[in-house]
Structure 1
Amino acid sequence: MRGATAETVRRALDEDDPLPGTRGFAGAVDGRLVRDVLGRQPLFFDGDDWAFAPGELADPEPFPAGHAGQVDDPTAAERVWSLPDPDPVTDEREAVVSLREALTGALDEVAAADGGTEAATAVAFSGGVDSAVVASRLDAPLYVAGFPESHDVAAARDAADAMGRDLRVVELTPDDLERAVPEVARAAGRTNAMDVSIALPLYLVAERAAADGYGRLAVGQGADELFGGYAKVARAPEDPRVEADTVRGARRELLGTLPDQLERDVLALRAAGVEPVAPMLDDRVVRAALALPGDALVDDRGERKRALRLAARAFVPDRVAFREKKAVQYGSLVSRELDRLARQAGFKRRTDDHVSKYVASRVE
């Protein structure tokens, strides 16, 4: 079992509790395979075999999040947990206070795990509110990866300066991407351009942190999905990319994508030599986020992640709490440079999905 004790998982099963106080779990308990409701720990099966990584199986299938099934017949797994759908808290101040307390508890638990000795944990730091809050209560080095002129490197430098923290910059080159592309694609079991471009900067940050002697990497994963960080959530119901007719409903749709996304990120980070730690996906934080009203996710001016930004003021300066940030594949310029590598290798833009074809060729 990864991510929780067998006793905790048994209690979650007995009490139908989808958020029993962990940061996710997966594995076998009492002859049953289980995976937590948000899929925060990857799990795979092939016939009656199972593993935490797809490369250990001949024909791996992801074990579905929120399900349990017999170890000798995982194909017959049944849903045992679903995300709570609480009524929204009507008092914004109360909602922000609850969220701030949940974040404090989650972050302090991560800090305590290092036992007060030299930090075994590093932080993937892009300068946005998510990673800044994660970094704020951890006595750990901050790492950012990006090409020298990238938005993420500039934002991380500014945020680290505002927070009085040192920053370690992993300046990327085309050679770094060319080397890492097949490694990331094999680890994640994917060759599509979007997945690989998202995982690459994480992998390269983790690789440097591991080389520096850190065994864990704290990340801000989950914050955009939990707190309304996507434009398509903010534009619901007008945005055709979501089916929901409210911001809260669109947020719930996006939470359904987390198991697939986290599978990619966790596998890439482990392949780089670190164990990911995601305080934003602590059950306490998830519970507080699910209780937020729609205007605490996106306010009437269209500002996303409003409640998180307000709660973040207790942890970071305002210029960091209210900073807008690009998605990692664009902010690091990895997506641009991956496109350039594909074209240099003869995969022209007029070809459908030319970057994915380039990635697949590198894996082969």
Structure 2
Amino acid sequence: MDGAAPATVRRALDSREALPGTGGFAGELSGALVRDVLGRYPIFSEPEDPTTWSFDHRDLTNPRLVPAGCRRTEAGDEQVWTLPELPLVSSRTEAIKSVRAAVEGQLSALPEDTPVAFSGGVDSAALGAYLDGPLYVTGFPGSHDIEAAQSAAQLLGKDLTVIEVSHDVLEAAIPEVARATSRTNAMDVGIALPLYLTAKRAAADGYDTLAVGQGADELFGGYEKITRAPDDHRVAADTVRGAAREVIATLADQLPRDVLALRAAGVEPVAPLLHDDVVEASLRLPENLLVSPRGERKFAFRMAVREWTPDPIAFREKKAVQYGSLIARELDRLARQAGYKKRMDDHVGQYIASLLD
């Protein structure tokens, strides 16, 4: 069992408890395959044959991902766990306190020297400010992420390892990431590449884990489309709270990409912000603590972690990693230099696929 003790998963299976106090799990239990409600760990099997399975799709001939919250047997997939509807906390003070306690509880449980993938935004800074491990940032020279990470590290008084990417490094890593994740679309590869390159450096420095800030945007209302519900076409929900739950459901597709990229680089991801305790605290937040009346996204999370994260970082807005690192821009540049023009359908994806041939 990956991520949790089999006995814990068995109790969750018997009780149908979706958030049993783990950081996620996936594995085989009593002849069936199971994957937690958020899909924090991937597990695959051959179609119609759950006895032939693996945590890595490359071990299988025709891998099929077990859906989040499901139990897979020869009879098919059964939805066992769904994201619970929890009563909201009416007190702003108590809600923020519960988020702080959940996040700090997970950070305090990690070894202090755990390395951190650090981009200078509030999510990774909450980890980097609390832990004493090395900080790593990846990007092209002059990128927003490198500049943000350098200024944040200076505020925290901590050393930062900068992994500057070149076109040669990027082009060599693209097929490795595409094969590891089984994805060739520009968005997924652009997100996975900086994670992969950061993890490779941490592994080369002798670390076998890497702390990442994944999950905060989804859990705490970090996306602009959440703030605009119901007027944003990218979400179907008609409330901010509903849009947040809709976005949380997308983690099941995103996290296998990240986990597989990090493992391919030689480290095991540590995602303290995705622990059940943090998830539960987020599900109890009213809308005005996801998005403040002034439009500040992730408001409760920012207020919670300012206990140990300086305000200039806690309330900083940051670009998505594929843009902040300039990876997306340079992927496009490499594709066009290779003859894949923008007028072509999915020109970057075609370029990535060509590197696998």
Could you tell me how far apart the structure 2 residues matched to 1:363 and 1:224 are? Answer: 32
| Corresponding letter in the other structure for 2:18 | P
The alignment status of 1:32 with 2:32, answered yes or no, reads yes
The alignment status of 1:284 with 2:284, answered yes or no, reads no
| Corresponding letter in the other structure for 1:83 | L
| Corresponding letter in the other structure for 1:241 | R
What is the match of residue 164 of structure 1? 157
What is the match of residue 87 of structure 1? 87
May I ask how many residue pairs the two structures share in their alignment? Answer: 354
The alignment status of 1:316 with 2:316, answered yes or no, reads no
The alignment status of 1:244 with 2:237, answered yes or no, reads yes
Residues 324-349 of structure 1 deviation map (CA, whole Å, 9 limit, x = unaligned): 00000000000000000000000001
| Corresponding letter in the other structure for 2:69 | G
What is the match of residue 349 of structure 1? 342
1:56-75 aligned at under 5 Å gives the runs 56-70=59-73, 73=74
| Corresponding letter in the other structure for 1:214 | Y
Give the C-alpha shift of residue 69 in structure 1: 2.5
The alignment status of 1:4 with 2:4, answered yes or no, reads yes
Could you tell me how far apart the structure 2 residues matched to 1:147 and 1:194 are? Answer: 17
Runs of 4+, deviation exceeding 4 Å: none
| Corresponding letter in the other structure for 1:65 | A
SS at match of 1:77: strand
Give the C-alpha shift of residue 136 in structure 1: 2.3
Residues 147-192 of structure 1 deviation map (CA, whole Å, 9 limit, x = unaligned): 1100000000111111111100001111111000000000000100
**Structure 2 contact 66–72 (Cα < 8 Å) conserved:** no
The alignment status of 1:194 with 2:187, answered yes or no, reads yes
What is the match of residue 141 of structure 2? 148
Could you tell me how far apart the structure 2 residues matched to 1:169 and 1:154 are? Answer: 10
| Corresponding letter in the other structure for 1:76 | G
SS at match of 2:109: helix
1:40-51 aligned at under 5 Å gives the runs 40-47=40-47, 48=49, 49-51=52-54
Residues 205-225 of structure 1 deviation map (CA, whole Å, 9 limit, x = unaligned): 001110110100000001100
Could you tell me how far apart the structure 2 residues matched to 1:98 and 1:299 are? Answer: 17
Give the C-alpha shift of residue 87 in structure 1: 2.3
Residue in structure 2 matching 1:263, options 248, 256, 261: 256
SS at match of 2:88: coil
| Corresponding letter in the other structure for 2:303 | L
- Structure 2: stretches of 5+ with no match in the other structure: none
| Corresponding letter in the other structure for 1:63 | V
Residue in structure 1 matching 2:129, options 136, 144, 153: 136
Could you tell me how far apart the structure 2 residues matched to 1:135 and 1:15 are? Answer: 36
Could you tell me how far apart the structure 2 residues matched to 1:96 and 1:360 are? Answer: 45
Could you tell me how far apart the structure 1 residues matched to 2:110 and 2:350 are? Answer: 40
SS at match of 1:28: strand
The alignment status of 1:299 with 2:295, answered yes or no, reads no
What is the match of residue 76 of structure 1? 76
Give the C-alpha shift of residue 8 in structure 1: 0.5
Could you tell me how far apart the structure 2 residues matched to 1:178 and 1:19 are? Answer: 40
**Structure 2 contact 122–314 (Cα < 8 Å) conserved:** yes
- Structure 1: stretches of 5+ with no match in the other structure: none
Could you tell me how far apart the structure 1 residues matched to 2:204 and 2:321 are? Answer: 22
- In the superposition, the TM-score normalised over structure 1's length comes to 0.96
| Corresponding letter in the other structure for 1:36 | D
Could you tell me how far apart the structure 2 residues matched to 1:349 and 1:30 are? Answer: 51
Could you tell me how far apart the structure 1 residues matched to 2:102 and 2:128 are? Answer: 15
| Corresponding letter in the other structure for 1:61 | R
What is the match of residue 222 of structure 2? 229
Could you tell me how far apart the structure 1 residues matched to 2:80 and 2:66 are? Answer: 13
Residues 94-136 of structure 1 deviation map (CA, whole Å, 9 limit, x = unaligned): 100000000111111123xx7xxxx3x3110000000011122
Could you tell me how far apart the structure 2 residues matched to 1:214 and 1:179 are? Answer: 22
| Corresponding letter in the other structure for 2:13 | L
Could you tell me how far apart the structure 1 residues matched to 2:57 and 2:97 are? Answer: 41
Give the C-alpha shift of residue 89 in structure 1: 1.2
SS at match of 1:169: strand
1:175-214 aligned at under 5 Å gives the runs 175-214=168-207
Give the C-alpha shift of residue 13 in structure 1: 1.1
Could you tell me how far apart the structure 1 residues matched to 2:217 and 2:79 are? Answer: 25
Residue in structure 2 matching 1:329, options 314, 322, 325: 322
| Corresponding letter in the other structure for 2:23 | R
